[in-house]
A and B are shown apart, each in its own frame.
Chain A
Amino acid sequence: MSAAAQRLSGNPGHAAAVRILELRTVRKTYRTLRRDNIVALSPTSLAFEAGEFVSIVGPSGCGKTTLLNITSGLLRPSAGAILFRGSTVDGPTPEISMVFQRPVLLPWRKVIDNVLLPVEVLGLRPAQSFRERAAELLAMLGLTGFAETYPRELSGGMQQRVAIARALIYDSSVLLMDEPFASLDAMTREELNLELLRIWEVTGRTIVFVTHNIPEAVLLSDRVVVMTPRPGKVSAVIPVPLPRPRSLSLLGDPAFGCIVSEVRELLRVRSEVVARAGEA
């Protein structure tokens, strides 16, 4: 089966899948002022297959943002390695693009110029075809007609869409997303969730999606990575074998509810353990 067909059938296949991104015993510790070592991320190993949609959920302090930053190359791990298609990654690479929590648009550039920023920086040619692609992406994200406006004229949700368009303008294989819809209201969020799924299906990229919203994670992903804090570590990886394409009607589905409860229980139990450990 083709990777796309596997996705549609909800069956993350086996032999035909490519291990596109791998974390091998990645650890991150920080030195505090009192010379203690804080473990932000315990030794973690994760593997992502090409075309997968994987969510990472957990409460604050569980290390999910640290994990994402290390994966993108922005942060150096204290130990362990990141492998992209089998070769070590030691810094940011155009193969891995990132969408931050805040839209991080350059306010002095128009929307279209913000979307085209990676093209400028990476020196991609020909410029005209990228312009066209930018227009297509904006259309796909419902932003037709806003190409010539400035970020300050857009709402938060629209700005975040521009940031997504920017992450998609160039041919990265992996898209990392750090709670991109956290600051938006529930309705905009649901809208953007569906749009994201559509984009994922069209572009076929591997997406690693960090969130603290469990239903969102289950709705979007093939697998959910559950992380717990103190020390930050991966406590479980839950597969989501629900059929694709997914829609909001899934939210009422008992199978959906089951997986959500499972994840929630995992988080509650772990955090109780942690809290009790803290009280002891």
Chain B
Amino acid sequence: MRTGAVNALYATGTFVVVLLAWQVIVSALHLAAYFIPTPLEILAALVSERVVYAANLLITLWSTLLAFVIATAIAVILGALVSEVLFLRRTVYPLLIALQSMPRIALAPVIIVWFGFGISSKVVLGAFTAFFPIFLNTVHGIATTDRDHLALMRTLRANRWQVFCKVKLPGALPFLLAGANIAIIFAILAVIVGEFLGANRGMGYLIVNESNQMDMAGVFASIFLLSAAGLCFHYGLGFLRRWLLFWAASSEPDADGS
């Protein structure tokens, strides 16, 4: 516990020092506001437009969350099916691998044309990019199920469903959650790109506005907000992982039997 607090202190301290240096250097060099804003200007921008920031951040976060949840659900189901059903492994799996190598962000304009300007195109884009890390990790996690666990279930003549629910899925959870960590970042990036290209709301749209208005303080403020959101997702997932994977410390006995 103490180390955690000490680490946090160091991190915050470094952050504060960087901000101070930034403020001093930019002010001293009299750099133009449109070139690089000072932290104070960024803060002022955040505060003065807080309603607009809050509204648009909420939209982006909501889109990201939806995309992530949908991607997770489809990825886990498809991952399970592909792992268990040989026919699907031979047909669907290679197809998905091929899709994965496609630059999905490049599809953004197409997705916007298909799904419109509203939140659905962003969610589709986000889900599409977030899907792959979770799917691949789920398949890998199921494939690397402990052989002994499977043997145990065989001695009990467990059927496929029992094996899947009691052994394969819980065993794959660490991999799945590792994939989720990556996936949520993908999701938020894809959502923002979607908002860049065709939206009327959201942080991406806000950044385009600010950029067109040469509002550098606004752009930086948006970027900071998004970084903060990313951090929150990261820590949130960390909590989820620790809560779900409470058992994931080594369960093997030591060599001396202790």
| Interface residues in chain A, defined as those with a beta carbon under 8 Å from any beta carbon in chain B | 72-74, 91-94, 96-98, 100, 102-108, 117-118, 120-122, 150-152, 155-157, 159-160, 183-185, 188
Please tell me if B5 contacts chain A, counting CB pairs below 8 Å.
no
- Provide the residues of chain A in CB contact with B173, threshold 8 Å: 108
| Residue of B whose beta carbon sits closest to that of A155 | B258
- Provide the residues of chain A in CB contact with B162, threshold 8 Å: 120-121
A152–B250 touching, CB < 8 Å: yes
- Provide the residues of chain A in CB contact with B248, threshold 8 Å: 107
Secondary structure of the B contact surface, majority rule: loop
Secondary structure of the A contact surface, majority rule: loop
What is the CA–CA distance of A92 and B257 in the complex, to the nearest angstrom?
A: 30
A66 → chain B closest CB, angstroms:
14
What is the CA–CA distance of A184 and B252 in the complex, to the nearest angstrom?
A: 12
Which among B65-73, B151-159, B204-212, B228-236 touches the partner chain?
B151-159
Set A92, A104, A107, A155: member contacting B157, Cβ < 8 A: A92
- Provide the residues of chain A in CB contact with B103, threshold 8 Å: none
What is the CA–CA distance of A163 and B162 in the complex, to the nearest angstrom?
A: 19
- Provide the residues of chain A in CB contact with B49, threshold 8 Å: none
What is the CA–CA distance of A74 and B255 in the complex, to the nearest angstrom?
A: 27
A72-B155, A122-B157, A184-B257 given as contacts; is B149 within 8 A of A106 (CB)?
Answer: yes
Q: What is the total number of residues of chain B having a CB less than 8 Å from a CB of chain A?
A: 29
What is the CA–CA distance of A118 and B250 in the complex, to the nearest angstrom?
A: 23
| Interface residues in chain B, defined as those with a beta carbon under 8 Å from any beta carbon in chain A | 146, 148-149, 151-158, 162, 166-167, 170, 173, 246-258
What is the CA–CA distance of A73 and B254 in the complex, to the nearest angstrom?
A: 30
- Provide the residues of chain B in CB contact with A91, threshold 8 Å: 157
- Provide the residues of chain A in CB contact with B257, threshold 8 Å: 155-157, 183-185, 188
What is the CA–CA distance of A153 and B34 in the complex, to the nearest angstrom?
A: 59
What is the CA–CA distance of A279 and B252 in the complex, to the nearest angstrom?
A: 39
- Provide the residues of chain A in CB contact with B253, threshold 8 Å: 102-103, 155-157, 159-160, 183-184
Set A97, A121, A157: member contacting B153, Cβ < 8 A: A121
A102–B157 touching, CB < 8 Å: no
| Residue of B whose beta carbon sits closest to that of A185 | B257
A106-B167, A155-B258, A156-B257 given as contacts; is B251 within 8 A of A122 (CB)?
Answer: no
A183–B255 touching, CB < 8 Å: yes
What is the CA–CA distance of A255 and B74 in the complex, to the nearest angstrom?
A: 67
| Residue of B whose beta carbon sits closest to that of A166 | B152
| Residue of A whose beta carbon sits closest to that of B250 | A152
What is the CA–CA distance of A74 and B154 in the complex, to the nearest angstrom?
A: 7
| Residue of A whose beta carbon sits closest to that of B253 | A156
Please name 7 further chain A to chain B contacts, defined as beta carbons within 8 Å, in addition to the given A155-B257, A156-B252, A159-B251, sorted by A numbering.
A74-B154, A92-B157, A102-B148, A108-B173, A117-B152, A156-B258, A185-B257
